[in-house]
Amino acid sequence: MGLMDGKKGLVLGVVNDWSIAWGISDQLHKEGAQLGFTHLPDKDPTNPKMAKRVRKAVEGFDPKLFLPCDVQNDADLDAAFVAAKETFGTLDFVVHSIAYAPIDDLKGHVYDCSRDGFKTSMDISVYSLMAVCKRARELMPNGGSILTLTYLGGERVIPGYNVMGLCKAALESSVGYLAHELGQQKIRVNGLSAGPIKTLSGSAVKDFDKMLEMYDALSPLRRNVSLEEVGKSAVYLLSDMSTGVTGETLHVDSGYHAMGAPPGDAKLGG
């Protein structure tokens, strides 16, 4: 019997089979969860590359629901949760794995970030969680769990993470406020702060390979984390194993977040 047997949930943010949302979905499926998925709409409906790519990635999870959703579009969000209600009746969990910043704003200096780029980054990376919680709560009459994905760059300065660090700081703050507001409905809201993993979004971060090297050399476990490890930790936060946990940010990063100085035996490439 799996930890998620009988549990029904919606996953937002799978892009391919090496995205963090995919790793979480893989573990949820293995533990017995019934899953629905949204994907970013294709700009050209006659050439649905995104839909095909995501469908191929999740087809092994026996998806009960699969539809496009642009989180900047309230009508799309409404439609996604209406479809979830029609498919599942109620929801037990939601995975929010969505973040975006225009590439020029992400790679440039924070002080050079454009006004429009900042608005777009915050809208997609932060406001979308609030919008998702607003709709998910109506499908969780018996309580539930909502999980978002964050990163250490929201707590500390990670050179190269730039405007996305500002977004993650706001996202983690929203986790606490949402946990407070939804707690009386027995809805838990948590964040999972994973170490760097090679994903499509991660590849856009400047000096990403150096980040991997730093974690490998400086973390207490002296290695990077795997997609499987992140997925298993997400199952914990989404399952009944963590019913007393809310407003929390769980670090799954080989302990890197705990370090204040490099260990004496640290070896970094020249």
Q: Which residues are catalytic?
A: 151, 161
Residues 6+ apart with CB under 8 A from 261: none
**Nearest 10 degrees: Cα torsion 76, 127, 65, 233:** 170
| CA dihedral sign, ordered 133, 139, 144, 147 | negative
Structure letter (DSSP) for residue 13: -
Q: How far is it, in rounded angstroms, from Cα 130 to Cα 30? A: 28
User: How, if at all, do strands 8-12 and 34-39 pair?
Assistant: parallel
Torsion angle in degrees (nearest 10) through CA of 8, 237, 244, 127: -80
Give the whole-angstrom CA distance, residue 45 versus residue 63. 21
Q: Distance between CA 11 and CA 99 in Å, rounded? A: 14
Give the angle subtended at the CA of 120 by the CAs of 252 and 210, to the nearest 5°: 40
As a whole number of angstroms, the distance between CA 18 and CA 193 comes to 17
